[in-house]
Amino acid sequence: MTEPVHTGGCVCGAVRFAATGTPARVTICHCLWCQRRTGTAFGTEVVFDDAQVAMASPELAHYRHVSDESGRWLEVAFCRRCGTNLGFTLEARPGIRTLPAGAFDDSSWIRSDALKIRHVYLRSRRDWSELSPAVEQYEQHFNPQ
Ligand SMILES: [Zn+2]
Ligand SMILES: [Zn+2]
């Protein structure tokens, strides 16, 4: 059986990625950091192993943020030309890489009946963002460390 390959990229097209296989999970994060970095109510991160994701472009840029809560870093990736969010890696979970659900060319495969999807950090959820009852919900992280 061939593994599915899901492609995506930034708005301007300078950065493209391909993710092979099924992600471990999808995390919809309502923390204040995700609200700020995305400019919306939450970040929707599809979580892959590093080895599943191919992404290379001279326009790919990174910014390392140190959490004032955990003291650990998260490194966001973005297109330096158009600024599109391209997911992140994090010190707390070595070897994984997230890709934002909205950056896939076709995200119809990201469904709550097919993948493990969790809402996390609901303690800072905006009251104008509705939650699907089909998705697990956690006040903080599902696996606090
Ligand atoms: Zn771009
Ligand atoms: Zn977050």
State in Å: Cα 36 to ligand 1 middle.
19
In angstroms, what CA-CA distances link 57 with 9, 30, 51, 92? 11, 29, 17, 26
CATH number at residue 81: 2.170.150.70
Give 16-66 pLDDT, tens digit per residue.
Answer: 999 999 999 999 999 999 999 999 999 999 999 999 999 989 999 999 999
User: What are the C-alpha distances in Å from 52 to residues 11, 95, 129?
Assistant: 22, 10, 31
Give 92 Cα–ligand 2 centroid separation in angstroms: 13
Domain membership of residue 142 (yes or no) is no
Ligand with smallest separation from the Cα of 79: 1
Quote the ligand 2 centre to 16 CA distance (angstroms). Answer: 23
State the SS3 of 92-145: CCCCEEEEEHHHECCCCCCCCCCCCEEEECHHHCCCCCCCCCCCEECCCCCCCC
Residue 76 maps to a domain: yes
Domain of 67 in residue numbering reads as 5-137
pLDDT, tens only, 80-129: 999 999 999 999 999 999 999 999 999 999 999 999 999 999 999 999 88
